[in-house]
Structure 1
Amino acid sequence: MEWRLRRNCSVTPAQLGLLYVSLCVVSLGVAGFFWAHGATLVLPFAVLEILAVGIAFLVYARHAADGERVRLMGRALLVEQEVAGRLVCREFAREWVRVAPQEKSPNLIEVRGGGESVHIGRYLRPDLRPALAREISQALRGG
């Protein structure tokens, strides 16, 4: 069994790159036109605008692929979390895993076992987290 939890992104990093390139072409084209007609300060401000938008797009694109994957494989529960391109994997022995849903508050789901714990559910609506916790618990018991 496998559960994939991903960030809800309407634009992929590749699409964002194309959008940024087209924005650069249009902005620099307009700025170049006015610079050629004597408005020399338009071009430096257009470059500053493009740099600011580029930094914002870079921050967005860096986290666009963030997500969590929980896999039940034989005698192990594997939790993989990707944040800003960094992948962290934790493996728990199936018979020792405890799933602790936080039903009274919109906190994350705690998966613990063997002295380790990890919090999952960042990319899931808070009202769906208890259902996910129950589903993982049932899968651990059912086998």
Structure 2
Amino acid sequence: MICNKELPEKEEDFQMFLHTIFPSMFDVKYLLRSTDYSHSYGLDYLADMLKLRRFGTAHQAGSDSLLTGHCYFRLLRDSFGGNVPSQCNGILYGLSEDASASAMPNTLTPSNTTYAAATKGATSPINNNLSNNNNNNNN
């Protein structure tokens, strides 16, 4: 859609194409591998663990995208001190798993979480009124 071309057939060509379109890309599920949270969590369970609430219906693109973004910013803040591990850039969970599994240590420390460029100038959309524990809606 972006380039009016068919997707590449080979995974390595797809990865290069993806990196061209999105030079900084971080997969929440892959980031979970270096936190105290399990990477086997589904999106709703992870959101509950992070004390976030969903807007809209599960499995709808807008609602899932918004919740994924909220999970990303909460993980960024709580687990990575605001800096994303640079070795996580461009890795999609489930693709090239053999190569990506050895590329990232099991536990990342603040000294090796240095990819601030993806978040430079970015502000988190997460605030008190998005957290489950601060929900003041009359539902």
Question: What TM-score do the two structures reach when normalised by structure 2?
Answer: 0.24
Say which one has the larger Rg.
1
With structure 1 as the length reference, what TM-score do the two structures score? 0.23
**Higher normalized strand content (fraction of residues):** 1
